[in-house]
Chains A and B, each alone.
Chain A
Amino acid sequence: MPIESDSLVKIRDLCFSRGERVIFDGVDIDIPRGKVTAIMGPSGTGKTTLLKLIGGQLAPDRGTIEVDGLNVHALNRRELYQLRMRMGMLFQSGALLTDLNVFENVAYPLREHTSLSESMLRKLVLLKLEAVGLRGARDLMPAELSGGMARRVALARAMALDPMMVMYDEPFTGQDPISMGVLVKLIRQLNDAARITSILVSHDVEETCAIADLVYVISGGRVIEFGPPRQLQQSGSEWTRQFMHGLPDGPVPFHYPAPALEQDLFGAAA
């Protein structure tokens, strides 16, 4: 059962389908405050969908998602947007606005939601960029940034309004070892320094386990197992062991469901 005490996000009996395909089938998850919680699982298990459900961009078929005591899907648009001002999200692609430079991208949420003076806004943006090591890149356009730099700018933007929680969607995918190391360190540092709650969606086991306090492993629409990373790495579950250690053989089949090879090759004659 999930941990109830002092959870920022409480997910209960979450069911969600896309057409005929069931993505979540009765999922319960608790995200504790002030911790880094990782949601892990193979590609296509709905990890990104889960973040969109928490952020209210998608609505569940059944079940509830509470963020800081508010039922996300019972809020009207104005209330939802007020809640989102306390959430940050780092998208897999960075999702930077391509017609604005780095400085303006980070300044964007501040310009939209605050009435800070230009000098105060400049100082805040430069501090946010300093925190991700990109103060010197403030005049670059998104097209001039590497993938790792774009994600760091997006991280600075996600932190601009000092949110209570930040959601990271596959932050390590496609990163070189240096960028990956920088991002791993930054996520942990920002979580601890700003005392925020982090939800990290990833299938990069090693990097995620290095910074996560709690890991949920999901597959087939259900939570397979959860606990501290060390506990999961020593799990007795064959499925968890195969995923955590990246083993080719195990309960997760190599082949996508298909008829027998002979039948496919030789048809009815086989």
Chain B
Amino acid sequence: MTGWLARLGAGWIRAVRHLGRALLLLLRILEGIDELIRRPRLLVEQLFSVGVLTVLIIAVSGLFVGMVLSLQGYHILSQFKADSALGVMVAASLLRELGPVVTALLFSGRAGSALTAEIGLMKATEQLSGLEMMAVDPVRRVLTPRFMAGFLAMPLLAALFSALGVIGGWFVGVGLLGVDDGTWWVQMQARIDWHQDLLNGIIKSLVFGWVCTWIAVFQGYNCLPTSAGVSGATTRTVVHSSLAVLGLDFVLTALMIK
């Protein structure tokens, strides 16, 4: 019994220490933002690497999610003669939930894992130590641009996901299932609320961008400098980010719904 309690206590202490280290690292990352003002090229390079290179998977996923949503929604709504609301349903689902959440999940799998692996390998090959010994702070030089790029890229990627989802949904709903084109767009314009749908979606994706990129850079910077260490850190990035996104989504939704 005491052994079990001791293990539980040790686990909690480890978790709190881990969180403390992550918070301290986040503060150091944020301290380095002035570096990005002096050298915006660092941010642009990472926006390309973290954001632009993730566009393809986000675009294709958004398109197909919108198509499936439209297909499923039509069959349910048409039973109640409410298929004219299909456009609103597709757009609201994407803007409020699927856009931010699925984008964050895909982002952590594509860009988050790549960030962790890159930083972890830089640590394992002593590149981060090399920077330190050249009097270059690796947190400001390597972590801050990557963190800010992830934070800024996420809402843009979520917007792209939702936009292409609406187009995919329109293609299936209007193009294939015969929903009226005018109704699709007019209903959407009339019923989608800037604050409830659009702004809340943007807030969610900013929060997810912050958390996913924070987890990714922390795991990379904190990993054991071995192949097993980097591999474990990459896996943890995807698992922790996914769980954090799903948990935070519930909390944010609960706070946002009036």
Instruction: Please name the residue on chain B nearest to A105 by beta carbon.
Output: B130
Contacts of B130 in A (CB 8 A): 89, 91, 95-97, 154
Q: Do A98 and B135 touch (CB < 8 A)?
A: no
**Chain B interface category by residue count:** 10 to 19
Contacts between chains A and B (CB distance < 8 A), count: 48
Contact of B137 among A57, A81, A96, A98 (CB under 8 A): A81
CA of A95 to CA of B124, assembled, Å: 9
Q: Do A57 and B133 touch (CB < 8 A)?
A: yes
Q: Do A91 and B126 touch (CB < 8 A)?
A: yes
Q: Do B129 and A91 touch (CB < 8 A)?
A: yes
CA of A92 to CA of B52, assembled, Å: 36
Q: Do B125 and A95 touch (CB < 8 A)?
A: yes
Q: Do A87 and B137 touch (CB < 8 A)?
A: no
CA of A52 to CA of B127, assembled, Å: 14
CB distance from B39 to the nearest CB of A (A): 10
- Among the stretches A6-14, A106-114, A210-218, the one at the interface with B is A106-114
Q: Which of B127-153 contact A (CB under 8 A)?
A: 127, 129-130, 132-137
Contacts of A87 in B (CB 8 A): 133
Q: Do A108 and B134 touch (CB < 8 A)?
A: yes
Q: Does A41 contact B (CB under 8 A)?
A: no
Q: Do B125 and A82 touch (CB < 8 A)?
A: no
Q: Do B134 and A57 touch (CB < 8 A)?
A: no
Contact of A112 among B125, B133, B136 (CB under 8 A): B136
CB distance from A255 to the nearest CB of B (A): 26
Q: Do A89 and B133 touch (CB < 8 A)?
A: yes
Contacts of A93 in B (CB 8 A): 125-126
Contacts of A97 in B (CB 8 A): 127, 130
Q: Does A85 contact B (CB under 8 A)?
A: yes
Q: Does A135 contact B (CB under 8 A)?
A: no
Q: Do B134 and A84 touch (CB < 8 A)?
A: yes
Q: Do B126 and A95 touch (CB < 8 A)?
A: yes
Contacts of A82 in B (CB 8 A): 135
Q: Does A46 contact B (CB under 8 A)?
A: no
Contacts of A98 in B (CB 8 A): 125, 127
Contact of B134 among A52, A77, A92, A109 (CB under 8 A): A109
Instruction: Please name the residue on chain B nearest to A52 by beta carbon.
Output: B129
Q: Do B133 and A55 touch (CB < 8 A)?
A: yes
CB distance from B168 to the nearest CB of A (A): 36
CB distance from B30 to the nearest CB of A (A): 15
Q: Do A84 and B132 touch (CB < 8 A)?
A: yes
Q: Which of A68-96 contact B (CB under 8 A)?
A: 77, 81-82, 84-85, 87-89, 91-93, 95-96
CB distance from B96 to the nearest CB of A (A): 39
Q: Do B135 and A84 touch (CB < 8 A)?
A: yes
Contacts of A89 in B (CB 8 A): 130, 133
CB distance from A239 to the nearest CB of B (A): 31
Contacts of A112 in B (CB 8 A): 134-136
Q: Which of B191-246 contact A (CB under 8 A)?
A: none
Contacts of A81 in B (CB 8 A): 135, 137
CB distance from A124 to the nearest CB of B (A): 15
CB distance from B134 to the nearest CB of A (A): 5
Q: Do A113 and B126 touch (CB < 8 A)?
A: no
Q: Do A113 and B125 touch (CB < 8 A)?
A: no
CB distance from A19 to the nearest CB of B (A): 14
Q: Do A57 and B132 touch (CB < 8 A)?
A: yes
Instruction: Please name the residue on chain A nearest to B134 by beta carbon.
Output: A109
Contacts of B135 in A (CB 8 A): 81-82, 84-85, 109, 112-113
CB distance from A164 to the nearest CB of B (A): 13
CB distance from B80 to the nearest CB of A (A): 57
Instruction: Please name the residue on chain B nearest to A88 by beta carbon.
Output: B133
CA of A60 to CA of B29, assembled, Å: 26
Leading 6 A-B pairs by shortest Cβ distance: A95-B130, A95-B126, A84-B135, A89-B133, A81-B135, A85-B135
Some 21 contacts from A to B, beta carbons below 8 A apart, are A52-B129, A55-B133, A57-B133, A77-B137, A81-B137, A84-B132, A89-B133, A91-B129, A91-B133, A92-B126, A93-B125, A93-B126, A95-B125, A95-B126, A95-B127, A95-B130, A97-B127, A108-B136, A109-B134, A109-B136, A154-B130
- Beyond known contacts A91-B129, A95-B126, A113-B135: 13 more, CB 8 A cutoff: A57-B133, A77-B137, A81-B135, A82-B135, A84-B134, A87-B133, A91-B133, A95-B129, A96-B130, A97-B130, A109-B135, A109-B136, A112-B136
